[in-house]
Amino acid sequence: MRNDFLPFARPDISEEAISDVVDSLRSGWITTGPKAIRFERSFGEYVGSPWALAVNSATAGLHLALLAFGIGPGDEVITTPMTFAATVNTIVWVGAKPVLADIDPVTLNIDPFLIEKAVTPKTRAIIPVHFAGRPCNMDAIEAIARKYGLVIIEDAAHALGAAFRGRRIGAPLGERHAAVFSFHPTKNITTGEGGMVCTANEDAAEKISILRQHGMSKGAWNRYAARGNPHYDILFPGLKYNMLDIQAAMGSDQMKHLEAFNARRREIVDLYRHELGSLSTLTLPPAVDPKDTHSWHIFTPLVETDRLGMSRDEFMAKMRENNIGTALHYQAIHLFSYFANNYGWRMGDFPNAELVSDRIVSLPLFPAMNDDDTADVIGSVREICG
Ligand SMILES: Cc1ncc(COP(=O)(O)O)c(C=O)c1O
């Protein structure tokens, strides 16, 4: 057994990033400023988006994207039950009604056929989540959005570096589109906490940029800097969702390492696949379609609990006894008390998500994992599941 605990995820922060954060701390300018702008530019160039707007979380980004497209009371927004609560919470916060469409049990992504079945005259938007970094079938989702005049807001929290049919997630999908990324410490890159909204819609970009800083016509950088002007107007009742320069300093450096980070994630996934593929008590995530790119934010096998004679939670406890951390992405959204109580969702409503929710587990996966760490995970899983 390992002597030290292996967490399921751990950020990898370079000395250059630390120096640049210290540079901001020493410079006297630590809130949103030139480093946030630099990070936005490099991010926009990487995903191929004309606008990339840095915010302090993906949750903030989803909230702003919904507001920017005018989604609110009386509207319905379709999303997946296999996601983090933030996706659905933000729909609730703009006053719209969340509507769920079940997942495909193989890809664990929202099933486009079920999206179309859920469309009503009140539907205004679809929020597909690229689960684990596997791109959703965006051709099918775009076709539905076009047919019914819907906005697409990609929840790309897991999907930095992923691509569908050669289109990098975050690149434009027309005027009624935004994509939102997360930089939480477990994600493919991190800024501590943080997020980015990408869109090609200039009006939406302008609105997001204003709404993220109280609805002010000018940011602090344009008011307090040497050539700034102190006057401003309030154009909308905004929020406080801006990203600090100390976060952006980290983000710019992380972007330089992204391709190497994702390559290492793929290597570890290949090892898992090779070494665990023959276990009949574990169903591994399927290989990605060769036309697409998976960003492997998480590696999420399903524990075949009947065959193993053990619950998923017992499996996680045994991994913990072997000093190996695991995580749970996700408990099906519709069964949480708030949602069940307010939307009448019950057990049986989304059977694929329920089946997955009871069996899914995230194994350790992060670029700084070395081959010994990977071998420890494989050894522990084999010991429990073999
Ligand atoms: C699918 C999904 N959406 C949204 C979020 C929210 O991201 P953040 O923590 O940056 O607000 C997360 C975070 O884990 C997520 O996994």
- Per this entry, what is the length of the chain? 386
* Whether the CB of 90 sits within 6 Å of ligand 1: no
Phi, then psi, of 26 in degrees rounded to 5: -80, -25
DSSP letter, residue 131: G
Distance 265 CA to ligand 1 centre (A): 19
Distance 184 CA to ligand 1 centre (A): 7
- Please report, as a single letter, which amino acid is at residue 310: M
* Whether the CB of 242 sits within 6 Å of ligand 1: no
pTM of the model: 0.97
DSSP letter, residue 371: H
**Which three-class secondary structure string do you get for 311-353?**
CHHHHHHHHHHCCECCECCCCCHHHCHHHHHHHCCCCCCCHHH
Cα separation, 128 vs 125, whole angstroms: 10
Cα separation, 250 vs 5, whole angstroms: 26
Phi, then psi, of 299 in degrees rounded to 5: -115, 115
Distance 65 CA to ligand 1 centre (A): 14
Task: Give the CB-side neighbour count of residue 138, counting CA atoms within 13 A.
Answer: 27
Token duo for residue 250: 């980290």
Task: Give the CB-side neighbour count of residue 198, counting CA atoms within 13 A.
Answer: 29
In a structure prediction context, what are the per-residue pLDDT tens digits for the chain, which is 386 residues long? 899 999 999 999 999 999 999 999 999 999 999 999 999 999 999 999 999 999 999 999 999 999 999 999 999 999 999 999 999 999 999 999 999 999 999 999 999 999 999 999 999 999 999 999 999 999 999 999 999 999 999 999 999 999 999 999 999 999 999 999 999 999 999 999 999 999 999 999 999 999 999 999 877 677 777 777 888 999 999 999 999 999 999 999 999 999 999 999 999 999 999 999 999 999 999 999 999 999 999 999 999 999 999 999 999 999 999 999 999 999 999 999 999 999 999 999 999 999 999 999 999 999 999 999 999 999 999 999 98
Cα separation, 28 vs 17, whole angstroms: 18
Question: In this structure, which topology does domain 15-254 adopt according to CATH?
Answer: Aspartate Aminotransferase; domain 2 (3.40.640)
Q: Quick one: 283 exposed, middle or buried, by C-beta within 10 A (0-12, 13-18, 19+)?
A: middle
Is 187 part of the annotated catalytic residue set? yes
Tell the CATH superfamily of the 258-385 domain: Aspartate Aminotransferase, domain 1 (3.90.1150.10)
- Name residue 269's beta-bridge partners: none
* Whether the CB of 84 sits within 6 Å of ligand 1: yes
Q: How far does CA 359 lie from the centroid of its chain?
A: 21
Cα separation, 232 vs 222, whole angstroms: 10
Distance 283 CA to ligand 1 centre (A): 25
Domain ranges of the chain: 15-254, 258-385
Cα separation, 157 vs 282, whole angstroms: 26
Q: Of 35, 147, 187, 207, which residue is the catalytic one?
A: 187
* Whether the CB of 108 sits within 6 Å of ligand 1: no
Number of other CB atoms surrounding residue 1 within 10 Å: 10
